[in-house]
Amino acid sequence: MNSIPLDPDAVEAIQVDAAAIETAVAAIVPGADPNADLRLAISCMDLTTLQGDDTEDRVRALCARARSPLANAPGLTTAAVCVYHAMVPAAVAALHGSDIPVAAVSAGFPHGLSPLPTRIAEIEASVADGAKEIDIVIRRGHALTGNWQALYDEVTAFRTACGPVHMKAILATGELGDLTTIARASHVCMTAGADFIKTSTGMEKINATLPAGAVMLRAIRDFHAQTGRRVGFKPAGGIGTADQALQWIALVRQELGEDWLNPGLFRFGASRLLDNVTGRLA
């Protein structure tokens, strides 16, 4: 998705009604067919390992799980496998012959504080090694100080480095301070060309929360109404149970409708979620 020009005044005009968000979260109603929604959750998972002790063997085992995540469900796979850059070649090799893409976390993950040329080079290296999706992380300070032009310029540079591959922009919502800042950062990242906006790295003290998710989903809805562009949504961090997955699916259904409930527009960042979901479906 290409960048479009930024209007900083329009960003500053964005305001979030916190009470309305609380009402939206309180109104979440689970779907009528939880088993179908849990299978959907599996198909929308970015199966993830982001540990300091990751090995190629661990990544190959994860890729095998991604190919066949649920017994007696032929053809069902996870949406992607998400790894650090160093593990991209092993994941690409392990997924060869499947339609499952490799996603690489990049741009100074998880803090986004390394030099900009280094972050851009990391993205380019992951793309060159075969990653088809890049999960970039924003520099939170730009959002916290309201420097929307700097955030836009940074994410636009990442968009260029990604080339044709999908780019997910991680906002680290738990570090952005308030719901209005989350909404503004969402708008800027989408304007800069993000294909997805994502809640968290999974490594903040506060990761994915339903109120932050509701704000981001409404930002996606508004952006679609303004531009005609559909941007995806990825909650990540702290989502480990089937019940939580059902809540998130219900929230997306409530805010954006069924059209967004597919791997092209909705993902879970998942490391331990798959075991809990498959245990529920067993």
- 37, 46, 195, 198: the catalytic one is 198
- 37, 135, 168, 195: the catalytic one is 135
Helix or strand (DSSP H, E) at 134:
strand 133-137
Helix or strand (DSSP H, E) at 80:
strand 80-83
Is residue 129 annotated as part of the catalytic site, yes or no? no
- Token pair for 35: 């088993």
Burial of 132 (0-12, 13-18, 19+ CB in 10 A): middle
DSSP 176-220: S-SHHHHHHHHHHHHHTT-SEEE---S-SSS---HHHHHHHHHHH
Helix or strand (DSSP H, E) at 154:
helix 148-162
Whole-angstrom distance, CA of residue 201 vs CA of residue 216: 15
Is residue 234 annotated as part of the catalytic site, yes or no? yes
Is residue 168 annotated as part of the catalytic site, yes or no? no
CB count within 10 Å of CB 272 equals 12
- 234, 243, 259, 275: the catalytic one is 234
Which of the residues are catalytic? 135, 198, 234
